[in-house]
A and B are shown apart, each in its own frame.
Chain A
Amino acid sequence: MTATATATERVDAAGNPLRRLVGAHEFGVLSATVLLFLFCAFGVDNFLTSDNLLSVAQQIAFIGIIGTGMTLLIIAGEIDLSVGSQYGFLSIVMAYTVTEMGLPVLPAALLVIGFGAVIGLAQGLLTTLAQVPSFVVTLAGLAILRGAALLVTGGEPIQGSESETYHDIVSGFPIGTLAAQTLWMAAVMLGFGWVLAKTKFGYDVYATGGNVKAAVNAGISANRVKVLCFCVTGALCGLAAVVLVGWLGSANPLTGSGIELSVIAAVVVGGASLTGGVGSIVGTLLGALVAGLIGNALALLGVDGNWQQVATGVLILAAVLINRVVAKRQAALR
């Protein structure tokens, strides 16, 4: 076969929508999600109802919102282990500013989102300028912010706002049983999906994570890109906190304990590489969906709590392996 013929075949393959779908990086996790969905649809009672499916979409909203920031960070070659503590601490700040300081909801929400961005800025600067690995910086952040949440509250939950409007905007049901949390997640993911795929900043994020030296040589300010990704992650933790407090009506200092692992799992199951340069918002959405579907299916199947942990681990591993098998097949087809 000649080089020209091979090139022509590649062009043809790229133009074929089916080949493009099969060749997409997310095809593996998409396959796992579809398989899981089919299993649940045919094997799990009460699964295939609009109420249940919309409820799953609502449940993954927080993982989806925070996972969007984490996706940017992981693609840029960094990680944030403090997202659970940020989310918890910012929930406390939201409830505190509204009930203890008497701030109206909107300024309080903007303050919380801004505060999240500032936390991200601090962690980003420590990572890039002080050259402390993000793993270490954010591990410290995890402890500091959880401690701060406990200090502010004395360990007790804080009541949030009783505003009906606030509740309706962040967690009402604007269309049938579709929860507002799901729409917030969709808006965040669509927005940042577009940023990653269509803007120079998105290109810079991939370039920074793919090969930081090459990115710097190409004139990209890698440090600036990384710091911005930390800021976005912090701001999205703030947004998740605003939505949570509006939904539940209170903030608990233990909110978000361990959620960082679920968020990282969603991003990685979604096909992102922890070494940077690879990943997508669609993949993260599918990763979160896999985790949400598994939790939901196990509950509907009547699986007891301790077994749910075991089965969740087995099924996530299965999903990742299916993803990997499909990815290898794709590589062979290219």
Chain B
Amino acid sequence: MSIFDRSQGDTPSVSRRALLGGGLTVAATAALAGCSKTAAGGTAAAAGETPIKGKKVIAVVHEMNSFFPPVQKGFEMFGKAVGWETQFMGPPTFDQAAVVTMMQNAINAKPDGLILTRIDETSYDEVIKKATAAGIPVILTNVASKGYEKLGVGFVGQDFVPAGVIAGEQILKHVTKAGRKDGAIIIGKIQAGNSALEERGEGIRKAIDEHNSKNGTSFAAEDLIVGTDEAKAIAKINDRYARDPGSVAGWAGTAFECQFVATWAKSKDLVGKFSNGGFDMTKPVLAGIKAGSIDFTIGQNPWAQGWVAAALIAQQIHPGYPSFHYDTGAEVVDASNIDKVTDREAKLA
């Protein structure tokens, strides 16, 4: 029976309902207060008095997927060190308008600095211009997309096409080592419409084309959008493989898709039947390299994408230096350096 239902026998007293209503209000308020406290916690261990102490800086990213926790940690650690109030947010799944809405809300909070991702060439420009017109320093992180320079903002992130070329060269190294001279190299994507992933894919294709023309091989690039939901991703990977198992020479993700390939390959006892690699240093990706189910990954220093972005905002706030492009690199991680990298990444936990 419903606790609010008057028609069920004894009538609930007003005080009971008032208690419930009050309790609910308290719970909601506590949720808000608790959250606010968490967000403002960064000020607790503030550094000594500096011109940038006590500033409020907000980061809005396009999707809160498993790539971003180290970015958030880097951002928050810098904020804590200089006594900032930090806030990191993004929608649970990507939606253009939802991201713009969050950015607008962030501007309305009147922050002292904004760190944003710009994953296409037009959608976020109006809101970025609004922020800069309001005198809020803005820096882009992780993804900037073509033409970001016209907005007068800096960018902390990877140069995606060259990084894609490195990923392409890596997958070809592993594929040819296995004796293949042809076959499909599946370019996995966790998301459609993300310029960073498209550019990495472009780099991988470029590497494949160059390799084919230099070595007389006939590898073919093939796109596969798998999404970020692991179960759905594995089903798509399996379907592609089942269509023509012999045709697959390797899997080259543009993000952390290789972890899905590794999970699927292990479940089907297919580890070692083809090469597998991609980008990012999520825990499953590093574990996969250690276990041999992933051949390589290309790191882009997510920590720096939070920490350095915050540092550039800080120098823009005081003394006022303009931001610039900071390339967070393309670090190749494979069996040769996995232990060292795993130890380093564990420090972010």
A interface list, Cβ under 8 A from B: 39, 45-46, 49, 51-52, 55, 58-59, 62, 150, 153-157, 159-160, 244, 247-250, 252-259, 295-311, 314-315, 318, 321-322, 324-325, 328, 331-332
Contact = CB atoms under 8 A, between A and B. Distances in A.
Interface stretch (B30-38, B155-163, B338-346): B30-38
Contacts of A301: 32, 35-36, 39
Interface stretch (B101-109, B164-172, B214-222): B101-109
A298 B106 CA distance: 10
Contacts of A310: 31, 35
Interface string B14-58: 000100010011011101101110111000000000000000101
A302 B123 contact: no
B96 A309 contact: no
B89 A304 contact: yes
Contacts of A303: 32, 35-36, 38-39, 87, 89
B95 interface: yes
Contacts of A49: 108
B225 interface: yes
Nearest to B33: A301
A299 B105 contact: yes
Contacts of A248: 96-97, 100, 122-123, 126
Interface stretch (B187-195, B240-248, B274-282, B287-295): B187-195
A302 B87 contact: yes
Nearest to A314: B31
Contacts of A295: 101-102, 105
Nearest to B101: A59
B193 A155 contact: yes
A249 B192 CA distance: 18
Interface residues of B, number: 57
28 contacts: A154-B223, A156-B193, A157-B120, A248-B96, A248-B100, A249-B125, A250-B122, A254-B191, A255-B95, A255-B96, A255-B97, A256-B95, A256-B97, A257-B95, A259-B97, A297-B32, A298-B35, A299-B108, A302-B39, A302-B87, A303-B32, A303-B36, A303-B39, A306-B64, A307-B34, A307-B38, A314-B31, A328-B4
Interface of B: 4-6, 17, 21, 24-25, 27-29, 31-32, 34-36, 38-40, 56, 58, 64, 85, 87-98, 100-102, 104-106, 108-110, 120-123, 125-126, 189, 191-193, 195, 198, 223, 225
Contacts of A315: 28, 31-32
Given A304-B89, A332-B6, A318 B96 contact: no
A39 B29 CA distance: 9
B17 A325 contact: yes
A324 B4 contact: yes
A55 B106 CA distance: 11
Nearest to B198: A156
A304 B35 contact: yes
Contacts of B5: 328
Contacts of B97: 62, 244, 248, 255-256, 259
Contacts of A332: 6
B28 A314 contact: yes
A210 B289 CA distance: 60
A17 to B, nearest CB: 26
Given A302-B87, A303-B87, A321-B24, 8 more contacts: A55-B104, A59-B101, A62-B97, A300-B109, A304-B39, A305-B91, A314-B28, A315-B28
Nearest to A49: B108
A153 B89 contact: no
